[in-house]
Amino acid sequence: MVGHVARCVGQLAVALLGIVTVAFFLMRAIPGDPALYMLGDFATTEALAALRARLGLDLPVWQQYGVFLLRAVQGDLGTSVVTGEPALREILASVPPSAALAVAGMAIAVVFGVPLGIIAAVRQGSAVDVGVMLLALGGISFPVFWVGIVAILTFSHALGLFPALGATSEPGFWKGLHHLALPALVLGLSVAAYIARLTRSAMLEVLGQDHIRVARAMGVPERRIVWKLALRNALIPVLAVIGVTFAWSLGNAILVEAVFSRPGLGSTILKAILARDYQLVQAGVLVLAAAVVLLNTALDLLYATIDPRLRQR
Amino acid sequence: MSATFEDIDAAAEAATRRRATLRRYARHPGFMIGAAGILLLLLVAILAPWIAPHSPTQTDLMNTLAPASSTYWLGTDQFGRCVASRLIHGAQVSLLVGFFVVLISLSAGTIIGAVAGYAGGWLERALVAVIDILLAFPSFLLALALVAARGNTLDSIILAVAIAYTPRVAAVMRSVVLTIRPRPFIEASRAIGLTPWTIVLRHVIPNALPPVIVVATVSAATAILAEAGLSFLGLGVQPPTPTWGNVIAEGQTAITTNPLISLSAGLCIAFTVVVLNLLGDGLRDTLDPQMRRNTGKLL
C-alpha cells in the first residue's frame, strides 16, 4: 500500500509539472504585449521597458520558463496585469463560490446519475431503460447555458421559487444556499445525464461477467446480485466515471456561472481573458487543471482501498 | 489474367457481406434517425441562402422583438432581424465547426494514438504523458484559453476546439491499437519485412478505426456544444454573423419579452447534438457489436 501511495504521489508531481509547463507555453502563444495592455496606449517606451523587465518579459523564453517554474514551486504564479495583485491570491479568492457550485453540482449528479444508470442497466431493454436513456440523451444534448436560461424563466420568472441571480452579497448560509440551488441543479442534472449513461454501461459489463452468471445459477436473489455482487465490482468504473465527468463539469460550471451571473473561477478567468490579463488566465487554468489532477490522484488511492489487487501492482 | 473461381467466390462473398452490413444499418432505428437528421441539417445549411425567408443580417427597425408571424416565422430580435433566418444560417457555422474539428482531431489523434500504441517504449511513455496532461485540462477551458490566444475567427475557433479534443481521440486510438498489436497479422507484416510506418498506416489504423469513428461522431456533437458555449460567452464567431450560440446570448437580453429567440436556438443545438449522438450510438452498434458495452467508458 505504501508503494502504491508513493507511486500515486510521484505521478501527481509529474502531472503537476506537466500542467505548469503546458500552461506556460500555452499562454506565451497569446499575441499582444501584456506590458502595453497594463499601461495603455499612451505609455512611454521607457515605462514599457521597465515594466517588461519587472515582469521578466525581456528574458529569453526558456529563461522565463525557468523563473516561472521556480516561482510556481514557491506558490508564486505572477501578478495580475490589471489589478497588480498576486494572481494566485486572486484566483484562490474566487475558488470558494466555484467549489460550492462544483461540489453541490457533483453531489446532485451522483445522487441522480448513479442510481438511474444502475436501474437502467438492471432493466436493460425495458421501458424504464429506454426512458432513462432518452432523458440522459436530452441531458447531454441541451447546452447547459440554455438549460440555465430555461430554468431562470421557469423557476424564477414564472414560479418565483428561486432567485435568478446565482449569488447574493447578503450574509447567511440559507440565503446563500437559496441562490446556489438553481445553478447547482442545472449543472448537476447536465452531469447526471453523463454519469447515468456511463454507469449503465459499466454496470452492464459487470452484469455480463461469469461470476454473476454463476451466482444466478446458484439461485442467489437478484437484489443481492445487483446491490452486493455487481455494484461492488462496478464501483471502480463508476468512480472513474465521476473522475472523468469532474473535469468536464468544470467546463460547464464556467457557463453556468455566466448564465446566473455568479462570481467564481469561471467569471474571473473570463474577465481575465477579455482584459488579456494573461498571468491571471494562466493561474486560473493551472488551478483548475491542478484540481482535476488532485481529484484523480485521490480517486486512484480510493481504488486501491476498494480493490486490493491494485495495491499489489 | 483471367478470374479464377476463388476470385469470383470471394467477390460474391464480399457482396453478400456488404448487403448484410447495409441491412444491419437499415434495421437500426437510432442510426436511421441520426443519419436522416444529419442529412436534413446539411441540406438546411447548404440551401440556407435560398430557404431563409430574409437575410440573416438585414435589420427591420420598425419591427424589433416582433412576435412570430407569417413574415417572421420565429419573430425578430432586438435589431429587427429575422430569427428563423438567423437560425437557418447559423446551421452553417455549427456544422462547419463540427466537421472540421472532427477532421483535424480525428487525423491528428489517430496518428498520435496509433504511433503511441504501436511504437511502445519511451515514445509511447512520452506521448501518453503528454496526452494525460492535456486530458487534465477541462477541454472547454482549454478551448477558451486557446481562443483567447488566437482570436475569435472561425478558423481559430475550429483549431482551438480541435486541439482541445485531439487528446481524447488519441487516448482511445492508443487503447484500441494496444489490442491489435499482438495479433498474428501484425506479426506477419513484420515478418515479411514491412516498415513500421507501412504497418501502422496500412494495417493498424484501418483495423482500429471503428471505435475511433464512434468517438469522432460524438466529438462532433461536443465540438458543436463547445462552439455554442464560446459564442454564448462572446468569444465565438462575432455578430452580426449568426451562430446558434450568439443567437441565444442576444436573445437572453429579451428573454422575458421574446423567449422564443433563445428557446428556438437552443432547440436547434439540442437537435443537432441528439442526431449526432444517435448516429454515434448506431455506428457503435453496427460497426462492432462487441463494443456495445465497452465504448461507453471511452467517451
pLDDT tens digits along B223-252: 899 988 998 888 888 888 899 988 988 888
Q: Which residue has the cell 478470374?
A: B3
Instruction: For residues A164 and A239, state if they share a domain.
Output: yes
**Residues B229/A255, Cβ–Cβ less than 8 Å:** yes
Cβ atoms within 10 A of the Cβ of A91, count?
26
The pLDDT value recorded for residue B87 is 92
Task: Give the CATH number of the domain where residue A129 resides.
Answer: 1.10.3720.10
Give the residue from chain B lying closest to A261, CA to CA. B233
- B104 and A CB contact within 8 Å: no
Query: What is the band of B207 on the pLDDT scale with cuts at 50, 70, 90?
Result: confident
d(CA A3, CA A7): 6
**In this structure, is residue A191 part of a structural domain?**
yes
Query: A109 and A78, same structural domain?
Result: no
Q: Is the four-CA dihedral B103, B127, A245, A127 of positive or negative sign?
A: positive
pLDDT for A38 equals 66
Is B134 in Cβ contact with A198 (below 8 Å)?
Answer: no
A202 near B CB under 8 A: yes
pTM, two decimal places: 0.83
d(Cα B211, Cα B163) in Å, to the nearest integer? 20
pLDDT at position A37 is 66
Q: State how far residue B237 is from chain A, nearest Cα, in angstroms.
A: 15
CB atoms within 10 A of CB A18: 18
CB contact under 8 A, B129 and A281: no
Number of structural domains found in chain A: 2
* pLDDT on residue B298: 30
Q: Is residue B69 part of a domain?
A: no
Closest residue of A to B264, CA-based? Answer: A146
pLDDT in tens, B84-110: 999 999 999 889 999 999 999 989 998
Instruction: Please tell me whether residues A114 and A82 are part of one structural domain.
Output: no
Please say if the pLDDT value at position B292 is more than 70: no
Which positions ≥6 away from A278 have C-beta within 8 Å? A27, A30, A34, A81, A272
Q: Among the residues of chain A, which ranges form H helices?
A: 2-28, 34-39, 45-55, 61-73, 87-93, 95-122, 127-141, 144-151, 173-207, 210-217, 222-224, 231-259, 265-274, 278-306, 308-312
A:B CB pairs within 8 Å: 154
Rounded (5°) CA angle A292-A297-A302: 125
Q: Is residue A313 part of a domain?
A: no
What's the half-sphere exposure (Cβ side, CA atoms, 13 Å) at B123? 10
* A30 plus A85 within the same structural domain: yes
Residues A127 and A19 in one domain: no
Average pLDDT over every residue of B152-156: 84
ipTM: 0.82
Confidence class for position B296, pLDDT limits 50, 70, 90: very low
Residues B168-196 have a mean pLDDT of 87
Which of A66, A89, A112 is the last residue before a domain boundary?
Answer: A89
- In percent, how much of chain B has pLDDT > 90? 16
Whether the CA torsion A181, A184, A190, A196 is positive or negative: it is: negative
Q: Which residues of chain A have pLDDT under 50?
A: none
Whether residue B269 and residue A208 make contact (CB cut-off 8 A), yes or no, is: no
B37 confidence band (pLDDT: 50, 70, 90): very high
Within this chain, do residues A178 and A111 fall inside the same structural domain, yes or no? yes
Quick check: B184 pLDDT over 80? yes
Q: Any chain A CB within 8 A of the CB of B223?
A: no
Q: Do A29 and A174 share a domain, yes or no?
A: no
Question: Looking at the domain assignment, is residue B122 inside a domain?
Answer: yes
Let me know if residue B162 belongs to a domain.
yes
Asked if the structure places residue B94 within a domain, the reply is yes
Instruction: Let me know if residue A270 belongs to a domain.
Output: no
Residue A295 in domain:
no
Asked if residue A9 is part of any domain, the answer here is: yes
Task: Evaluate whether residue A310 is within a structural domain.
Answer: no
The CATH number assigned to the domain holding B129 equals 1.10.3720.10
Count of structural domains within chain B = 1
CB hemisphere CA count around B134 (13 angstroms): 23
Q: Which domain holds residue B187?
A: 28-48+75-287
Residue-wise pLDDT tens digits, B133-142: 888 788 888 8
Match 496532461 to its residue by C-alpha cell: B133
Question: What's the confidence (pLDDT) of residue A82?
Answer: 77
In A45-64, the residues whose Cβ lies within 8 Å of chain B are none
Q: Binning pLDDT at 50, 70 and 90, where does residue B294 land?
A: very low
Residue B128 touches chain A, beta carbons under 8 Å: no
Residues A99 and A126 in one domain: yes
Q: B139, A248: Cβ pair inside 8 Å?
A: yes
Judged by a CB distance cut-off of 8 A, whether residue B94 touches chain A is: no
CA distance B270 to chain A (A): 5
Contacts of B141 in chain A (CB under 8 A): 250-251, 254, 269, 285, 288-289
- Nearest by CB: A18 against B133, B262, B296: B133
Per-residue model confidence as pLDDT tens digits over A167-198: 777 777 787 778 888 999 999 998 999 889 88
Q: Does B290 touch chain A (CB under 8 A)?
A: no
The answer on A127 and A65 residing in a single domain is no
Best CA proximity match to B133, nearest among A26, A92, A65, A101: A26
User: Is A99 in the same domain as A214?
Assistant: yes
What confidence category does residue B293 fall into, taking pLDDT thresholds of 50, 70 and 90? very low
Q: What percentage of residues in chain B have a pLDDT greater than 70? A: 95
* Minimal-distance CA residue of chain A relative to B256: A153
Residue A22: which domain range?
2-89
Among B134, B274, B299, select the one facing A137 at the smallest CB separation. Answer: B274
Mean pLDDT, rounded, of chain A? 84
Residues of chain B with Cβ-Cβ distance to A144 below 8 Å are 229
Residue with grid cell 462552439, as numbered in its chain: B227
Q: Is the pLDDT of residue B56 over 60?
A: yes
pLDDT of residue B295: 37
What pLDDT was estimated at residue B297?
Answer: 32
Contact flag A254-B141 (C-beta cutoff 8 Å): yes
Closest listed residue to residue A136, CA positions, set A117, A151, A155? A117
Beta carbons of A145 and B229 less than 8 Å apart = yes
Q: Which residues are CB-contacts of B217 (< 8 A; sequence separation ≥ 6)?
A: B102, B276, B277, B279, B280, B283
Chain B residues close to A152, C-beta within 8 Å: 255
Residue B113 within any structural domain of the chain: yes
To test the contact with chain A by mutation, choose from B159, B232, B243, B263 the residue with the greatest count of A C-beta atoms within 10 A, namely B232
| B119 pLDDT higher than 70 | yes
Q: How deeply is B11 buried, as exposed, middle or buried, from its count of CB atoms within 10 A (0-12, 13-18, 19+)?
A: exposed
Average pLDDT of the segment spanning B257-265: 88
Q: How confident is the model at residue B3 (pLDDT cuts 50, 70, 90)?
A: low
Contact B256 A153 (CB under 8 A): yes
Q: How close A250 comes to chain B (CA, Å)?
A: 7
Residues A101, A119 within the same domain: yes
Provide the chain A residues 163-192 that lie in CB contact (below 8 A) with chain B: none
Q: Are residues A110 and A220 in the same domain?
A: yes
- Show residues of chain B in contact with A240, CB under 8 Å: 297
Residue at A195 is within a domain:
yes
Residue B161 is assigned to a structural domain of this protein = yes
